[in-house]
Amino acid sequence: MYQKPEDWRSLFEAVLFELPAGMQRLLLGAADAGVEVEQSASKAHHAWTSLTGAMIDAVYVRTGFWDAVLDNLNAVLRVQRLAQAAAKVLVAALGPSIGLASTSEIDALEDEIIRLRRELNDLHRKLELQPGAETGLRRVK
Amino acid sequence: MERAEIFSFFTALNSYWLDGAVRMLEGARRGVSNYYPLEEDPPGATPFQIVYSTSRLSLRYYAAQGERRRTPLLLVYALIKRPFILDLLKGRSVVESLNRQGFDVYLVDWLPPTRRDMRAGFDTYINEELCAVVSAVAQISGHDRIDVLGYCLGGLLAVLWSALYPERVKNLVTLATPINTEVADNALYSLISKVGDATVELITDTYGNCPATLINACFTAVAPIHHLIAKYQELHFNRQNSRYAAFFEMFERWINSDVAMAGRFFSELTDRFFRENPLMRQSFELAGDHVDLRRITCPLLNVVGKHDDVVPPDSSLALIDLVGSTDKHNLIFPTGHVGAAVSAGAHKLLWPQVGQWLAQRDQ
């Protein structure tokens, strides 16, 4: 949650001193400069990750960020519920007249399909040959 | 080292993000479909049998290897995401580790709820489903008292169930279990405690259950740097390591395996549990019964991740003072919320300790 001073120190060390020095050596063709630059970059990255993570946590916990998110979510959900209700009215009113099933029939059919798929899944799993099958288990109803 | 390689992470980042977006969309597709495609779960590292099932759960049985312990162990998994995190890969599998230590393991695989389950709350999951599961385990194993291990929300269910039916529990292990919800400075707890009645009502009115995509969005939002950059950096540094790549792929699949949460359970969890903090106030009631954690008198091992940012240590550690057990221990392990289940360190040090603790009490 709190930004650690050692992360700031690591970030400054890496960005202000180690990286520029390493880059300079790399441009001059020093053999081990690549490793040096990668290590400095990694050090800077870890420090930055830690500092940014702490900052984001602080924003979440100490500001009205979540309140704003939840207000927006509520607004979106209200619109969605309205659209759903309108669509249901439309289907209920027009569906049967053009030969479509009613919403309750569709819901019941969906539930039945889910039940059948689960049954099939169970049967499929039972038929699969699994090692270590000799356990003498009884199926509990 | 080539100069070009130094900056290769930045050039590779685009492809990592694209792959990540595909995985996220695949997860969203599974999450929003009315029927969660269980057949798309990876097969798991350890063979199992389904020995009991209802419309809300499957009970998996993983047989012990070698010298068998007396008491069967019931793993109560959380209600969000699929349980294959507990059996991810060989060498990174909790189930495999416990089997090797001689435990017969039963795993509760909560099936993703459908519209019919929207009225299932704590009462349904504890008094109906868990009771039926324990009876099934007792009937199959011949043991009336069993060991119970609960993970995350599964830990909460296990704790509540153990308080209501203490005579059925021999030993209780809780792993990263939320107990005290008044924990300062945690992004996720701060979010959940702000989800008001209006939001809960809108979500359940619109969808019936709380959609998986919303749950996934919450977890992604509380750790954006990790999900956008840090995890890809780790992947990039380990790109020559094929085992790490396989692990990353499976882990990401699990991260995107969110399932919906039953409407009533979601409502009770946010309102009754997170906002009222009833376990700390000893005011939790279930179907008219007061849930008194002091009734838990069996040996208790409370495993806490020191760096857990989903269920902070302070939230879990509160459990030890609430139960009536005399043989009770906190085991604080230097890991995160999921690291306790999958990290190499946990499999080397934590799970052997958990097994040993249970074995010492397997009389």
pLDDT value for A126: 66
* Sheet architecture: strand order including B146-151: B49-53, B57-62, B105-110, B73-76, B146-151, B169-175, B300-305, B328-333
B260 Cα to chain A: minimum distance (Å): 15
The answer on pLDDT for A2 being more than 80 is no
Answer yes or no: B152 catalytic. yes
Token reading at B48 = 């199992």
Whether residues A1 and B190 touch (CB distance < 8 A) is answered with no
Q: Token pair of A93, please? A: 């009113």
CB contact under 8 A, A53 and B226: yes
The stretch A16-37 carries a mean pLDDT of: 88
Q: Are the C-beta atoms of B54 and B40 separated by less than 8 Å?
A: no
Residues 6+ positions from A15 with CB-CB distance below 8 Å: A44
Give B-chain residues touching A73 at CB under 8 angstroms.
199
CA distance A96 to chain B (A): 23
Residues of A in contact with B111 (CB under 8 A): 118
State the DSSP code for B87: B
Per-residue pLDDT of A78-106, as tens digits, reads 999 999 889 888 877 787 778 877 777 87
Give per-10-residue mean pLDDT for chain B (363 aa): 61 87 87 78 91 92 92 96 94 96 96 90 95 94 95 97 96 97 87 90 92 91 86 85 90 92 95 93 91 96 94 96 96 94 95 96 85
pLDDT at site A135: 39
Confidence of residue A141 (pLDDT cuts 50, 70, 90): very low
Residue B314 a catalytic site member: no
pLDDT score of A133: 40
Q: Which residue is listed with tokens 């995509």? A: B213
Check if A53 contacts B (Cβ < 8 Å).
yes
User: Which residues does chain B have within 8 Å of residue A61's beta carbon, measured at their own beta carbons?
Assistant: 184-187, 190
pLDDT of residue A138: 38
Residue A42, pLDDT score: 83
Active-site residue (options: B87, B117, B258, B308): B308
A47 touches chain B (CB under 8 A): no
pLDDT confidence of residue B319: 97
What pLDDT score does A139 carry? 39
Q: What are the CA-CA distances from residue B264 to residues A4, B77, B121, B208, B346 (Å)? A: 41, 19, 5, 9, 34
Rounded to an integer, the average pLDDT of A46-65 is 87
The helix (H) or strand (E) run that includes residue A70 is helix A65-94
Diameter of chain B measured on Cα atoms: 69
Q: Which two tokens stand for residue B32?
A: 């929003």
pLDDT tier at A53 (50, 70, 90 boundaries)? confident
Please give the domain boundaries of chain B with CATH numbers for all domains: 1-32+212-259 (no CATH), 45-201+262-360 (3.40.50.1820)
> Given CB atoms, is A75 within the 8 Å cutoff of chain B?
no
A9 in reach of chain B (CB within 8 A) = no
Token pair listed for B54:
């209802």
Question: Active site residue: B104, B123, B152, B258, which one?
Answer: B152
pLDDT at residue A61 greater than cutoff 90: no
**Are B159 and B150 within 8 A, CB to CB?**
yes
Which pLDDT does position A60 carry in this prediction? 87
